[in-house]
């Protein structure tokens, strides 16, 4: 099993959720986060004063998937979150040692 984390632009969330559903991902966790990468923030104007926004709003998705679905999930996220502009985000893939469904006690792939 793998834990896939993706940081994407907020307006792409619905597209990514639909794409993940199509490849068989049954559940995701979504968090609103702030951060920056190569974008390094931007300057905004508010009531005539310029200020720098260092941390940009992003959405972090987390999904636990079986090993045989990892590549399909990565491609689904890449294709649906891509705008072609800087700041589209990142995907991280980590080994997932164990998953347990609290209600039934199922573990491993059955818990996903």
Residue ranges of domains in the chain? 2-111
pLDDT given for residue 16 in this prediction: 97
**pLDDT reading at 43 higher than 70:** no
Mean pLDDT of the chain: 91
CATH number for domain 2-111, candidates 3.40.1110.10, 3.30.70.120, 1.10.10.10, 3.40.50.300: 3.30.70.120
Alpha helices in 2-65 (DSSP H): 13-22
pTM: 0.85
Using N-to-C axis directions, what is the helix angle for 13-22 and 70-81, rounded to 10°? 150
Mean pLDDT, range 63-84, rounded to an integer: 96
Closest by Cα among 2, 28, 41 to 81: 28
Categorize the per-residue pLDDT at 10 as very low, low, confident or very high, splitting at 50, 70 and 90. Answer: very high
Helix, strand, coil % in the chain, rounded to nearest 5: 30, 40, 35
Categorize the per-residue pLDDT at 87 as very low, low, confident or very high, splitting at 50, 70 and 90. Answer: confident
């Amino acid at each position: 099993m793998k834990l896939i984390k993706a940081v994407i632009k907020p307006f792409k969330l619905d597209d990514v959720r639909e794409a993940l559903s199509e490849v068989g991902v049954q559940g995701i966790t979504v968090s609103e986060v702030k951060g920056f990468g190569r974008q390094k923030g931007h300057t905004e104007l508010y009531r005539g004063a310029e200020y720098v926004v260092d941390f940009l709003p992003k959405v972090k998705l987390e999904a636990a998937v079986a090993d045989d679905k990892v590549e399909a999930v990565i491609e689904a996220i890449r294709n649906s979150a891509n705008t072609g502009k800087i700041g589209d985000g990142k995907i991280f893939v980590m080994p997932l040692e164990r998953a347990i469904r609290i209600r039934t006690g199922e573990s491993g792939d059955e818990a996903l």
